[in-house]
Structure 1
Protein backbone atom coordinates (compact mmCIF):
# COMPACT_ATOMS: atom_id res chain seq x y z
CA UNK A 1 0.00 0.00 0.00
CA UNK A 2 1.26 3.46 -0.86
CA UNK A 3 0.59 6.71 0.93
CA UNK A 4 1.84 10.14 -0.05
CA UNK A 5 5.26 9.51 1.54
CA UNK A 6 5.32 5.86 2.59
CA UNK A 7 5.37 2.32 1.28
CA UNK A 8 3.42 0.11 3.69
CA UNK A 9 4.22 -3.57 3.22
CA UNK A 10 2.77 -6.50 5.20
CA UNK A 11 5.23 -7.84 7.78
CA UNK A 12 6.57 -11.33 7.05
CA UNK A 13 8.81 -13.64 9.04
CA UNK A 14 11.71 -12.45 6.85
CA UNK A 15 11.32 -8.96 8.37
CA UNK A 16 12.47 -9.94 11.86
CA UNK A 17 15.62 -7.80 11.65
CA UNK A 18 13.63 -4.67 10.71
CA UNK A 19 11.11 -5.39 13.47
CA UNK A 20 14.01 -5.76 15.91
CA UNK A 21 15.45 -2.43 14.72
CA UNK A 22 12.13 -0.65 15.26
CA UNK A 23 11.90 -2.02 18.79
CA UNK A 24 15.45 -0.96 19.68
CA UNK A 25 14.38 2.67 19.41
CA UNK A 26 14.30 4.08 22.97
CA UNK A 27 10.98 5.88 22.49
CA UNK A 28 9.27 2.76 21.15
CA UNK A 29 10.92 0.46 23.69
CA UNK A 30 9.55 2.67 26.46
CA UNK A 31 5.96 1.73 25.50
CA UNK A 32 6.78 -1.97 25.21
CA UNK A 33 8.48 -2.29 28.62
CA UNK A 34 11.93 -2.43 27.05
CA UNK A 35 13.76 -3.18 23.84
CA UNK A 36 12.94 -6.47 22.17
CA UNK A 37 15.40 -9.30 21.81
CA UNK A 38 16.07 -10.74 18.35
CA UNK A 39 13.97 -13.75 19.39
CA UNK A 40 11.00 -11.55 20.39
CA UNK A 41 11.21 -9.73 17.06
CA UNK A 42 11.41 -13.04 15.17
CA UNK A 43 8.31 -14.41 16.96
CA UNK A 44 6.37 -11.17 16.44
CA UNK A 45 7.25 -11.09 12.72
CA UNK A 46 6.13 -14.72 12.33
CA UNK A 47 2.87 -13.96 14.15
CA UNK A 48 2.34 -10.87 11.97
CA UNK A 49 2.76 -12.94 8.81
CA UNK A 50 0.35 -15.54 10.15
CA UNK A 51 -2.21 -12.80 10.98
CA UNK A 52 -2.19 -11.63 7.36
CA UNK A 53 -2.77 -15.22 6.20
CA UNK A 54 -5.42 -16.04 8.83
CA UNK A 55 -7.23 -12.70 9.19
CA UNK A 56 -6.61 -10.92 5.90
CA UNK A 57 -5.18 -8.02 7.88
CA UNK A 58 -2.15 -7.28 9.99
CA UNK A 59 0.80 -4.99 10.55
CA UNK A 60 2.91 -3.22 7.95
CA UNK A 61 6.48 -2.07 7.87
CA UNK A 62 6.62 1.58 6.84
CA UNK A 63 9.43 2.78 4.57
CA UNK A 64 9.86 6.25 3.11
CA UNK A 65 9.11 6.29 -0.59
CA UNK A 66 11.90 8.74 -1.35
CA UNK A 67 14.81 6.66 -0.01
CA UNK A 68 13.48 3.38 1.44
CA UNK A 69 14.44 4.36 4.99
CA UNK A 70 12.64 2.32 7.68
CA UNK A 71 10.23 4.70 9.45
CA UNK A 72 8.46 2.20 11.69
CA UNK A 73 5.50 -0.11 11.65
CA UNK A 74 1.75 0.05 12.03
CA UNK A 75 -1.51 -1.34 10.84
CA UNK A 76 -4.49 -3.30 12.05
CA UNK A 77 -5.09 -6.32 14.23
CA UNK A 78 -8.17 -8.39 14.80
CA UNK A 79 -8.60 -8.64 18.54
CA UNK A 80 -11.23 -8.93 21.24
CA UNK A 81 -11.86 -5.90 23.41
CA UNK A 82 -14.50 -5.74 26.11
CA UNK A 83 -15.69 -9.18 25.02
CA UNK A 84 -16.35 -8.30 21.39
CA UNK A 85 -14.28 -8.75 18.23
CA UNK A 86 -12.86 -5.56 16.74
CA UNK A 87 -10.22 -4.09 14.47
CA UNK A 88 -7.51 -2.31 16.44
CA UNK A 89 -5.23 0.27 14.84
CA UNK A 90 -1.70 1.01 16.00
CA UNK A 91 1.70 2.40 14.97
CA UNK A 92 5.26 2.80 16.15
CA UNK A 93 7.52 5.43 14.55
CA UNK A 94 11.28 5.55 15.07
CA UNK A 95 12.69 8.64 16.80
CA UNK A 96 14.36 10.24 13.75
CA UNK A 97 10.94 10.37 12.06
CA UNK A 98 8.79 11.50 14.98
CA UNK A 99 6.98 14.80 14.69
CA UNK A 100 6.81 14.66 10.89
CA UNK A 101 3.27 13.25 10.59
CA UNK A 102 4.26 9.67 9.74
CA UNK A 103 2.20 8.10 12.55
CA UNK A 104 -0.86 10.02 11.33
CA UNK A 105 -0.16 8.89 7.76
CA UNK A 106 0.09 5.24 8.90
CA UNK A 107 -3.08 5.64 10.98
CA UNK A 108 -5.08 7.15 8.13
CA UNK A 109 -3.93 4.36 5.82
CA UNK A 110 -5.11 1.82 8.38
CA UNK A 111 -8.54 3.45 8.66
CA UNK A 112 -8.84 3.60 4.87
CA UNK A 113 -7.84 -0.07 4.56
CA UNK A 114 -10.36 -1.08 7.25
CA UNK A 115 -13.27 0.73 5.61
CA UNK A 116 -12.48 0.38 1.90
CA UNK A 117 -10.86 -3.06 1.75
CA UNK A 118 -12.26 -4.90 4.76
CA UNK A 119 -15.68 -3.22 4.82
CA UNK A 120 -15.40 -2.58 8.56
CA UNK A 121 -17.96 -0.37 10.29
CA UNK A 122 -15.57 0.88 12.98
CA UNK A 123 -11.93 0.89 14.02
CA UNK A 124 -10.69 1.14 17.60
CA UNK A 125 -7.38 2.25 19.00
CA UNK A 126 -6.16 2.37 22.56
CA UNK A 127 -3.06 3.38 24.46
CA UNK A 128 -1.96 3.95 28.02
CA UNK A 129 -3.72 7.08 29.24
CA UNK A 130 -0.43 8.95 29.70
CA UNK A 131 0.73 8.31 26.11
CA UNK A 132 -0.26 11.78 24.94
CA UNK A 133 1.60 11.50 21.63
CA UNK A 134 -0.41 8.47 20.49
CA UNK A 135 -3.63 10.01 21.75
CA UNK A 136 -2.93 13.12 19.65
CA UNK A 137 -2.38 10.91 16.58
CA UNK A 138 -5.69 9.14 17.21
CA UNK A 139 -7.43 12.50 17.23
CA UNK A 140 -5.65 13.66 14.04
CA UNK A 141 -6.75 10.44 12.35
CA UNK A 142 -10.35 11.40 13.15
CA UNK A 143 -10.94 9.12 16.11
CA UNK A 144 -12.79 10.28 19.17
CA UNK A 145 -12.24 9.34 22.78
CA UNK A 146 -15.02 6.95 23.85
CA UNK A 147 -13.87 5.64 27.21
CA UNK A 148 -11.35 3.67 29.14
CA UNK A 149 -10.28 0.03 29.29
CA UNK A 150 -8.13 -1.65 31.90
CA UNK A 151 -5.61 -4.25 30.81
CA UNK A 152 -1.96 -5.15 31.42
CA UNK A 153 0.27 -2.20 30.56
CA UNK A 154 2.27 0.72 31.85
CA UNK A 155 1.12 3.00 34.63
CA UNK A 156 2.65 6.44 34.88
CA UNK A 157 5.05 6.59 37.82
CA UNK A 158 5.41 2.81 38.22
CA UNK A 159 8.10 0.54 36.80
CA UNK A 160 7.30 -2.37 34.53
CA UNK A 161 4.07 -3.78 33.19
CA UNK A 162 1.19 -3.63 35.66
CA UNK A 163 -1.69 -6.09 35.60
CA UNK A 164 -4.32 -3.30 35.62
CA UNK A 165 -3.30 -0.24 33.62
CA UNK A 166 -5.73 2.42 32.38
CA UNK A 167 -5.92 2.76 28.59
CA UNK A 168 -7.69 5.53 26.69
CA UNK A 169 -10.05 4.04 24.09
CA UNK A 170 -10.72 5.80 20.78
CA UNK A 171 -13.06 4.92 17.92
CA UNK A 172 -13.84 6.01 14.39
CA UNK A 173 -16.93 4.86 12.54
CA UNK A 174 -17.24 4.37 8.80
CA UNK A 175 -19.48 7.38 8.20
CA UNK A 176 -17.78 9.70 10.69
CA UNK A 177 -15.77 12.71 9.44
CA UNK A 178 -12.33 11.36 8.58
CA UNK A 179 -13.77 7.83 8.28
Structure 2
Protein backbone atom coordinates (compact mmCIF):
# COMPACT_ATOMS: atom_id res chain seq x y z
CA UNK A 1 0.00 0.00 0.00
CA UNK A 2 1.16 3.54 -0.67
CA UNK A 3 0.17 6.92 0.66
CA UNK A 4 1.17 10.31 -0.72
CA UNK A 5 4.65 10.10 0.87
CA UNK A 6 4.97 6.57 2.23
CA UNK A 7 5.25 2.95 1.15
CA UNK A 8 3.63 0.61 3.67
CA UNK A 9 5.05 -2.90 3.79
CA UNK A 10 3.34 -5.69 5.80
CA UNK A 11 5.38 -6.86 8.78
CA UNK A 12 6.24 -10.53 9.01
CA UNK A 13 9.12 -12.63 10.36
CA UNK A 14 11.44 -11.29 7.65
CA UNK A 15 11.04 -7.77 9.15
CA UNK A 16 12.41 -8.55 12.63
CA UNK A 17 15.66 -6.61 12.13
CA UNK A 18 13.84 -3.51 10.84
CA UNK A 19 11.26 -3.73 13.64
CA UNK A 20 14.06 -4.03 16.21
CA UNK A 21 15.86 -1.02 14.70
CA UNK A 22 12.65 1.00 14.71
CA UNK A 23 12.02 0.31 18.39
CA UNK A 24 15.53 1.47 19.30
CA UNK A 25 14.49 5.00 18.33
CA UNK A 26 14.30 7.09 21.55
CA UNK A 27 10.91 8.56 20.63
CA UNK A 28 9.40 5.12 20.12
CA UNK A 29 11.19 3.40 23.02
CA UNK A 30 9.82 6.11 25.33
CA UNK A 31 6.29 4.78 24.73
CA UNK A 32 6.88 1.10 23.94
CA UNK A 33 9.88 0.26 26.12
CA UNK A 34 13.27 -1.10 25.13
CA UNK A 35 12.74 -4.12 22.91
CA UNK A 36 15.31 -6.88 22.70
CA UNK A 37 16.09 -8.50 19.38
CA UNK A 38 14.24 -11.62 20.58
CA UNK A 39 11.14 -9.54 21.39
CA UNK A 40 11.25 -7.95 17.92
CA UNK A 41 11.53 -11.40 16.33
CA UNK A 42 8.58 -12.71 18.35
CA UNK A 43 6.48 -9.62 17.59
CA UNK A 44 7.30 -9.74 13.85
CA UNK A 45 6.28 -13.41 13.76
CA UNK A 46 3.01 -12.67 15.61
CA UNK A 47 2.18 -9.78 13.27
CA UNK A 48 2.81 -12.08 10.30
CA UNK A 49 0.39 -14.62 11.78
CA UNK A 50 -2.23 -11.90 12.30
CA UNK A 51 -2.08 -10.99 8.59
CA UNK A 52 -2.92 -14.62 7.76
CA UNK A 53 -5.38 -15.23 10.60
CA UNK A 54 -7.28 -11.91 10.68
CA UNK A 55 -6.50 -10.20 7.35
CA UNK A 56 -5.02 -7.25 9.25
CA UNK A 57 -1.67 -6.41 10.76
CA UNK A 58 0.97 -3.75 11.09
CA UNK A 59 3.06 -2.18 8.31
CA UNK A 60 6.52 -0.71 8.29
CA UNK A 61 6.32 2.79 6.80
CA UNK A 62 9.13 3.87 4.47
CA UNK A 63 9.53 7.25 2.80
CA UNK A 64 8.71 6.66 -0.88
CA UNK A 65 11.51 8.85 -2.24
CA UNK A 66 14.39 8.22 0.17
CA UNK A 67 13.47 4.71 1.35
CA UNK A 68 14.09 5.80 4.95
CA UNK A 69 12.22 3.93 7.68
CA UNK A 70 9.74 6.44 9.12
CA UNK A 71 7.67 4.29 11.47
CA UNK A 72 5.10 1.56 11.70
CA UNK A 73 1.34 1.49 11.77
CA UNK A 74 -1.64 -0.67 11.06
CA UNK A 75 -4.54 -2.60 12.46
CA UNK A 76 -4.87 -5.46 14.93
CA UNK A 77 -7.58 -7.09 16.97
CA UNK A 78 -7.20 -6.31 20.67
CA UNK A 79 -9.12 -7.09 23.83
CA UNK A 80 -10.17 -3.58 24.88
CA UNK A 81 -12.50 -3.02 27.83
CA UNK A 82 -13.62 -6.65 27.72
CA UNK A 83 -14.41 -6.85 23.99
CA UNK A 84 -12.43 -7.89 20.90
CA UNK A 85 -12.12 -4.73 18.80
CA UNK A 86 -10.21 -3.59 15.75
CA UNK A 87 -7.48 -1.22 16.93
CA UNK A 88 -5.36 1.14 14.88
CA UNK A 89 -1.95 2.21 16.07
CA UNK A 90 1.17 3.98 14.89
CA UNK A 91 4.69 4.76 15.99
CA UNK A 92 6.80 7.36 14.18
CA UNK A 93 10.53 7.88 14.64
CA UNK A 94 11.21 11.00 16.70
CA UNK A 95 13.09 12.73 13.85
CA UNK A 96 9.81 12.69 11.89
CA UNK A 97 7.46 13.98 14.57
CA UNK A 98 5.41 17.01 13.57
CA UNK A 99 5.45 16.20 9.84
CA UNK A 100 1.99 14.62 9.61
CA UNK A 101 3.19 11.06 9.11
CA UNK A 102 1.09 9.59 11.94
CA UNK A 103 -2.04 11.17 10.47
CA UNK A 104 -1.11 9.96 6.97
CA UNK A 105 -0.57 6.38 8.08
CA UNK A 106 -3.64 6.51 10.31
CA UNK A 107 -5.74 7.42 7.26
CA UNK A 108 -4.27 4.42 5.42
CA UNK A 109 -5.33 2.15 8.29
CA UNK A 110 -8.85 3.58 8.29
CA UNK A 111 -9.03 3.01 4.53
CA UNK A 112 -8.11 -0.65 5.07
CA UNK A 113 -10.77 -0.94 7.80
CA UNK A 114 -13.39 0.45 5.38
CA UNK A 115 -12.30 -2.10 2.75
CA UNK A 116 -12.94 -4.80 5.36
CA UNK A 117 -16.36 -3.23 6.09
CA UNK A 118 -15.48 -2.69 9.74
CA UNK A 119 -17.88 -0.15 11.21
CA UNK A 120 -15.91 0.79 14.33
CA UNK A 121 -12.18 1.21 14.92
CA UNK A 122 -10.61 2.06 18.26
CA UNK A 123 -7.32 3.70 19.16
CA UNK A 124 -5.74 4.08 22.56
CA UNK A 125 -2.69 5.54 24.21
CA UNK A 126 -1.36 6.54 27.60
CA UNK A 127 -3.54 9.34 28.98
CA UNK A 128 -0.58 11.76 28.99
CA UNK A 129 0.46 11.11 25.34
CA UNK A 130 -0.98 14.36 24.00
CA UNK A 131 0.66 14.01 20.57
CA UNK A 132 -1.00 10.67 19.86
CA UNK A 133 -4.32 11.88 21.23
CA UNK A 134 -4.14 14.89 18.89
CA UNK A 135 -3.61 12.55 15.92
CA UNK A 136 -6.65 10.52 16.96
CA UNK A 137 -8.76 13.67 17.06
CA UNK A 138 -7.44 14.85 13.66
CA UNK A 139 -8.47 11.48 12.22
CA UNK A 140 -12.01 11.96 13.56
CA UNK A 141 -11.83 9.68 16.61
CA UNK A 142 -13.91 10.60 19.66
CA UNK A 143 -12.69 10.15 23.22
CA UNK A 144 -14.73 7.48 25.02
CA UNK A 145 -13.14 6.86 28.44
CA UNK A 146 -9.97 5.92 30.30
CA UNK A 147 -9.25 2.26 31.03
CA UNK A 148 -6.43 0.25 32.60
CA UNK A 149 -3.95 -1.31 30.15
CA UNK A 150 -0.63 -2.92 31.11
CA UNK A 151 -1.12 -1.50 34.60
CA UNK A 152 -1.39 2.12 33.40
CA UNK A 153 -4.31 4.44 32.60
CA UNK A 154 -4.96 4.63 28.85
CA UNK A 155 -7.38 6.84 26.92
CA UNK A 156 -9.74 5.04 24.54
CA UNK A 157 -10.94 6.69 21.34
CA UNK A 158 -13.30 5.29 18.70
CA UNK A 159 -14.51 6.16 15.24
CA UNK A 160 -17.54 4.77 13.44
CA UNK A 161 -17.28 4.28 9.70
CA UNK A 162 -20.06 3.56 7.25
CA UNK A 163 -20.05 2.85 3.53
How would you bin the TM-score normalised by the shorter chain?
over 0.9
Unaligned runs of 5+ in 2: none
Counterpart Cα distance in 2 of 1:123 and 1:105: 16
Aligned length: 163
Counterpart Cα distance in 2 of 1:6 and 1:103: 11
Counterpart Cα distance in 1 of 2:16 and 2:149: 27
Counterpart Cα distance in 1 of 2:35 and 2:81: 28
Question: Per-residue displacement from partner, 1:105-131 (whole Å, max 9, x unpaired)?
Answer: 11111111101x211001000001001
Partner of 2:160: 173
Runs ≥4 residues deviating over 6 A = none
After superposition, residues 46-85 of structure 1 pair within 5 angstroms as 46-85=45-84
After TM superposition, give the deviation of residue 80 of structure 1 in Å: 1.8
What's the Cα RMSD here? 1.2
Question: Per-residue displacement from partner, 1:80-126 (whole Å, max 9, x unpaired)?
Answer: 212222100100001121110001111111111101x2110010000
Within the alignment, does 1:144 sit opposite 2:127 as a pair? Answer: no
Within the alignment, does 1:22 sit opposite 2:22 as a pair? Answer: yes
Counterpart Cα distance in 2 of 1:36 and 1:86: 25
Partner of 1:100: 99
TM-score where L is the length of structure 2: 0.96
- SS of alignment partner, residue 62 of structure 1: strand
Question: Per-residue displacement from partner, 1:34-58 (whole Å, max 9, x unpaired)?
Answer: x211111111111110110111000
Question: Per-residue displacement from partner, 1:121-174 (whole Å, max 9, x unpaired)?
Answer: 01000001001111011111111111111121xxxxxxxxxx2x1111101101
- SS of alignment partner, residue 134 of structure 1: helix
- SS of alignment partner, residue 51 of structure 2: helix
